Structure 1
Amino acid sequence: MAYAITDDGIEIYYEAKGQGLPVIFVSGYFGISDIWQAQTNALSEKFRTVSYDSRGYGRSAKPLPAEAYSIPRHADDLKAVIDAAGINGPAVLVSHSIGCNIISTFAVKYPQQVAGLVYTACYVDGKQMRDAGMSVEGVSEAVSTPSGAVAFYKPFGVTESVGAEAAKWATHALQANAAAFLNHEMADQYSAITAPALILQGENDAPNPLPFATALQQVLGGGAELKVLKGVNHFPPLEAPETVTAFVEEHVRKCFAD
């Protein structure tokens, strides 16, 4: 098992596979690397893939202080993982849900390490989420019991066995991470992002509906390519694994073609 050590001393579990062009997978509120298994298994035959459990989840450390969780903090964790995996040049960053704000924040702070961006189940920032009626309590309490977690995630395309994993996560981390993404605002920062971007949005995404994706496309300057995935809800990597894998591979090759 491999761990990166962050600058605040937190252990982040990560998996690195394959050789070649680097592709990093970043999870969202469902912060375990397992959601990317289909993509990393397939793409590690062609590229160097890295996935990891976010702080507060899975095999990574779960610090107690609420202030240990924020989107900028997660972006610095991503930097620690990239460094630990020995990736020195630019990489393509692939994200899901809250991970989209993590890679955007990373791209603003570390532009030289970003060759391209892929957003799945995306949104602009926490203000957009709050305006849509999301709250810390509503998000974190919904997954506090096994049955609640299964019921919460099932409509989003997550199997019962995978959804039940959410109930095993530390309550303090769930609450702190919910506050972290809901309080993060960055709509005015996207103009600093110049890396080519691809947006993969499910047409039936319930928490992050299609207008969230078109809004992200707009703040990115309109240059991002948007692909709407038919019949897909909030978890494209799990619901349409082969489609997501194919689009990611195509985007990686485009990003490194120049």
Structure 2
Amino acid sequence: MSYATTDDGIEIYFDAKGQGMPIVFVAGYFGISDIWQAQTDALSEKFHTVAFDSRGYSRSAKPLQAEAYSIPRHAEDLKAVIDAAGIRGPVVLVSHSIGCNIISTFAVNYPQQVAGLVYTACYVDGKQMRDAGMTVEMVCEAVSTPSGAVAFYQPFGVTESVGAEAAKWPAHSMQANAAAFLNHEMADRYDAITAPALILQGENDAPNPLPFATALQQALGGGAELKILKGVNHFPPLEAPETVTAYVEEHACKCFAE
């Protein structure tokens, strides 16, 4: 098992495999590397793939202080993982849900380290989510018990076996991460992102409907390519693994060829 240690002393579990140009996978509010298993298994035959558990989840440390959780903090954790994995050149970053804000923040802060971006189940920022009716209190109440945490994800397309993992995560970290993503605003920062971007959005995404994806596309200056995944809800890596893998591989090859 491999761990990166962040600049605030938190251990982040990561799994690195394969050789070649680097692709790093970033989970969202379902913050475990398991959601990327199909992609890393397939792509590690050609690329150096890295996936990790976010702080507060699974094999990574779970600090008790609420202030230890924020989107900028997660972006610095991503930096620590990239460094610990021995990656020195630009990477392609692949994200899910709130991971999209994490990689966007990283791309703003470390543009020279980003070759390309892939967003799945995306949105613009926490304000967009709040404007759509989601509140910190609503999410915190929903995930306050193990059974509630599992039930929270069930309508979003997660597989039963993977969804059951949510029962293992402490309520304090899930609640702190809820505040982290819902309070984060960055709509005015996307114009600083210049790396080529690909958006993969399920046509039936329950929490992040298609207008969220088109809003992100516009925020990125309209140059991002948008692919709508038929019959897919909020978990494209699990619901359409082969399709997501193929799109990630195609985009990565384009980015690394530039």
Higher mean C-alpha displacement, 209-218 vs 161-170: 161-170
**Partner of 2:164: helix, strand, or coil?**
helix
Q: Secondary structure at the match of 2:218?
A: helix
Cα separation, 2, equivalents of 1:71 and 1:24? 17
Q: 2:75 touches 2:106 (CA, 8 Å); kept in 1?
A: yes
Q: Secondary structure in 1 aligned to 2:7?
A: coil
Aligned to 1:215: 215
Which residue matches 2:242?
A: 242
Displacement of 1:164 in angstroms is 1.9
CA RMSD in angstroms comes to 0.9
What is the percent sequence identity of the aligned residues? Answer: 87
In the alignment, which residue of structure 2 is the partner of 1:178? 178
Q: Does 1:135 align with 2:126?
A: no
8 A Cα contact 2:16 2:51, kept in partner: yes
Which residues of 2 match residues 95-134 of structure 1 at below 5 A? 95-134=95-134
Residue 159 of structure 1 corresponds to which residue in structure 2? 159
| Deviation (angstroms), 1:158 | 1.1
3-state secondary structure, aligned to 2:19? coil
1:245-256 aligned at under 5 Å gives the runs 245-256=245-256
SS of 2:257's equivalent in the other structure is coil
In the TM superposition, what is the alpha-carbon distance from 1:138 to its structure 2 partner? 1.7
Q: How many residues align?
A: 258
Q: Give 2:33's aligned amino acid.
A: S
- Counterpart contact for 1:6–1:76, Cα < 8 Å: yes
Deviation, 1:45, is 0.5
The worse-fitting range, judged by mean Cα deviation, of 37-46 and 142-151 is 142-151
Q: Deviation of residue 143 (structure 1)?
A: 3.1
1:257 Cα deviation (Å)? 1.1
Moved over 6 A (4+): none
How far is 1:152 from its partner?
A: 2.5
Query: Given that residues 197 and 225 in structure 2 are in contact (C-alpha distance below 8 angstroms), is that contact kept between their aligned partners in structure 1?
Result: yes
Q: TM-score, normalised by structure 1?
A: 0.98
TM-score computed with the length of structure 2 as normaliser: 0.98
| Aligned residue number for residue 190 of structure 1 | 190
1:13 aligns with 2:16: no
AA partner of residue 99 (structure 1): G
| Alignment match, 2:228 | 228
Distance 1:2 1:75 in 2: 19
State the partner residue of 1:50.
Answer: 50
Equivalent residues of 2:143, 2:171 under 8 A apart: no
* Aligned equivalent of 2:75: 75
* 2:56 alignment partner, SS class: coil
Deviation at 1:154, TM superposition (A): 2.2
Aligned partner of 1:22 in structure 2 is: 22
- The separation in 1 between residues aligned to 2:159 and 2:143, in whole angstroms, is 14
Query: Does the aligned pair in 2 maintain the 1:146–1:164 contact within 8 Å?
Result: no
